[in-house]
Amino acid sequence: MVKSDLSADNQRPKFPKPIKVLVVVAPYYKEITDDLVSGATAEITISGANFDIVTVPGALEVPTAIGMASRLCEYDAYVALGCVIRGETTHYETVCNDSSNGLLMLGLQGLSIGNGILTVENTAQAKERSDPKKLNKGAAAAQAALGLLSLRLSWQEKRKDVGFKSSVRT
């Protein structure tokens, strides 16, 4: 596997105003999610943004919390963090698919979300992906959220000159 290289500053978006990110964590596998949070918050801080962290009971609740926050709070971007490790039942598929689909639906509504919910076969895979010194998927999720936010803001800026303009002078 290739290690994520997030150190190049030219990959980090620049924002014209202070940015606030909500990090939503499902800490079922605390050792894994602590590393994901560490990677994500380091990336957010390096990017010059501020963040809040909230925890929810499990990966299925992450999209719900982000949806509520988007309606009730003033956040610019969201980072979803958690870990789902395959077990002996089909519950794994349900949790993986439904949490991912929930985040996708929120993203299609215009939210800037980085999905850092790991879906893995075993603890060793989870540890490698969550470790800030290895694959650093927490930082990658934060970078994705900030990158989408930057893209959205750039499109909003361009959109200001689009639309019907009356030629009638008043």
Write the CATH number for 86. 3.40.50.960
Mean pLDDT to the nearest integer, 53-62? 98
Is residue 88, in this structure, part of any structural domain at all?
Answer: yes
Is residue 11, in this structure, part of any structural domain at all?
Answer: no
Active site annotation includes 166: no
Look at residue 37 and tell me whether its pLDDT is greater than 50.
Answer: yes
- Residue 3 binned pLDDT confidence (cut-offs 50, 70, 90): very low
Write the single-letter amino acid at 93. Answer: E
CB 82 within 8 A of CB 99: yes
Is residue 6, in this structure, part of any structural domain at all?
Answer: no
Distance between CA atoms of residues 29 and 27, nearest Å:
5
Mean pLDDT to the nearest integer, 47-66? 97
Is residue 7, in this structure, part of any structural domain at all?
Answer: no
Selected catalytic residue, list 91, 104, 105, 157: 91
Q: How far is CA 76 from the centre of its chain?
A: 11
Where in the sequence is the domain holding 107, given as residue range(s)? 18-159
Distance between CA atoms of residues 99 and 123, nearest Å:
19
Which H or E run contains 18? none
With a threshold of 0.85, does the pTM exceed it? Answer: yes
- Residue 159 binned pLDDT confidence (cut-offs 50, 70, 90): low
- Residue 106 binned pLDDT confidence (cut-offs 50, 70, 90): very high
Distance between CA atoms of residues 8 and 142, nearest Å:
15
Mean residue pLDDT across the chain: 90
Mean pLDDT to the nearest integer, 86-104? 95
Is residue 147, in this structure, part of any structural domain at all?
Answer: yes
Higher pLDDT, 16 or 146: 146
Specify the pLDDT at position 157.
77
Is residue 39, in this structure, part of any structural domain at all?
Answer: yes
Residue with tokens 């994520």: 4
Is residue 4, in this structure, part of any structural domain at all?
Answer: no
Number of domains in the chain: 1
Is residue 8, in this structure, part of any structural domain at all?
Answer: no
